[in-house]
Amino acid sequence: HGTAGRRDRRPGRPGRNRPGRRGCGGRRTDRLRSGDVGDARLAAPKTVYAFPGQGIQHKGMGMEVGPGRRRPARCGRRGQIHRETLASPSCMWCATIRPASSRPVCTTTTRRRAYLTQFTQVAMATVAAAQVAEMREAGAFVEGAIACGHSVGEYTALACVTGIYELEALLEMVFHRGSKMHDIVPRDELGRSNYRLAAIRPSQIDLDDADVPAFVAEIAERTGEFLEIVNYNLRGSQYAIAGTVRGLEALEAEVERRREITGGKRSFILVPGIDVPFHSRYCASVSPNFAVRWTGSCRATRIPT
């Protein structure tokens, strides 16, 4: 009675519960042995897909797949066709994602334009869509995951994860948004604007979180330049400031003066590739037109809670 249902662990010896047979209570007693191959289905951990804003752009972004791997062809073809529709004849632009090539294709005259807001954001949305499609194709995407995004990343999160927008609608939307933002800023004959974006780290200059708004406002008032906190990235540790070139130069000088006193680490960072005061009151005039343009364009979908 004491041995009933017990598995004999010595290999080669016949026992009551040999692999593949049923032991007491009808339980399966199969066991994988060394060299055996099996499949297992596991519940995915709690997953969040976060889509960043334009501030993380960099040269070669989206090319990390490397040679021998290709983005999903369907996504690439749809994106390429729609991008060419959006671009004017004088600005034919192809993003880095192509179904048959892993190398960026730009004409000499358009390489510079790829850094403009409206084209940068289209490129970022295309890369995000391709990355999500690639994960789905590989069976690695977690359906029902939480999706979130910042700035242009909000649009890619809604389109790529929840399916509220089709890829074509996403690209047209971010192109339209970027164009409006680009156009409201005065520019010189070379297309340069007077606005930039920077990040400061108050904790490195002994500046309390509650004092940051007054700190920025005082410099803006003293210099007569536009400065505004547009993103509270991390309480006490990182804030994004939009402003004019001279305004940000004055802000940097004051931050550096305080840093030398406190001995803190680098406390002022100019964000490259941005010349529009995104998320500031300066851009508020664009909102009504943009809202009217896209009202009713989204599809019904189930958003995970």
| Type of residue numbered 301 | T
Q: What is the pLDDT of residue 226?
A: 97
204/178 same-domain check: no
Over residues 119-132, the mean pLDDT reads 86
23: which DSSP letter? -
Q: Enter the pTM of the model.
A: 0.62
Residue 27 has pLDDT above 60, yes or no: no
Domain-ending residue, one of 118, 148, 183: 183
Q: What is the pLDDT of residue 53?
A: 83
Q: What is the pLDDT of residues 130-171, one digit of tens each?
A: 889 888 888 889 988 888 998 888 889 988 888 887 888 888
66/131 same-domain check: yes
**What CATH number is associated with residue 173?**
3.40.366.10
**What CATH number is associated with residue 280?**
3.30.70.3330
208/250 same-domain check: yes
| pLDDT level of residue 218 (50, 70, 90 thresholds) | very high
Over residues 118-124, the mean pLDDT reads 82
Q: What is the pLDDT of residue 305?
A: 52
**Residue range of the domain that includes 230:** 195-284
Question: To 5 degrees, how large is the angle CA 180–CA 90–CA 185?
Answer: 25
